[in-house]
Amino acid sequence: MNAIFFVSTNIHKYNEIKSILQNRITDLNFNFYKQNLIEIQDDKIEKIAIEKAKSAYNMVQRPIIIEDDGLFINSLNGFPGQYSSYVFRSIGNRGILRLLEGNKDRSAFFKSIIVYSNGNIAKAFSGQINGNISSTITDDGWGYDPIFIPWNTHDNNENKTFAKLNKTNKKNELSHRRIALDKFVKWFTQNNKLKKL
């Protein structure tokens, strides 16, 4: 059976990824490896993710996946983007809403970069979902989920944040993370060399 470690300190991400991968790769033992990874400073989230994956593999010495993601707000020139974790810890959702006060353009997108590495191969998969920043913070959820409303909900009359959609597992059906993981699953299951690890 293939074993892959998700390297992160974020148990919420691990639980979402595990839920999305569940029953999609039947011969996969997916584990959580709690480790704080140093991130390089760069304008490109993809480059940050690939460097983070190299660091993660060097620590674990087993096949790993990592994720780097960000919330990009169009009227703020993509802020917080690749600095999303730091900004969330610094000003949180209330700070983001304050930055957007009086701003009619509340469009934004979430981007996820999933990187797989087995020491020989490092492969990145991206997913993006467009939406708006809400004017209020909804209950529950984690990170920016309580203020992000995706555009591609199944019911267009339903202006629900990721936090609300997560209650019915709809977030995992359409999120940026799901889109990136769908690409990973397709690649992983088609790659015969990986199945021999």
The burial class, CB within 10 Å (0-12 / 13-18 / 19+), for 102 is: exposed
- The sign one gets for the Cα dihedral 114, 185, 33, 22 is positive
Q: Which of 27, 42, 43, 68 is catalytic?
A: 68
**Dihedral pair phi/psi, residue 37, rounded to 5°:** -105, 140
Among 49, 25, 37, 177, residue whose Cα is nearest residue 4: 25
**Dihedral pair phi/psi, residue 174, rounded to 5°:** -135, 0
Asked if 69 is an active-site residue, the reply is: no
Break the chain down into helix, strand, coil percent, rounded to 5.
Answer: 40, 25, 35
For residue 9, the SS3 value is coil
Tokens standing for 183? 């690409």
- Tell me the catalytic residues: 68
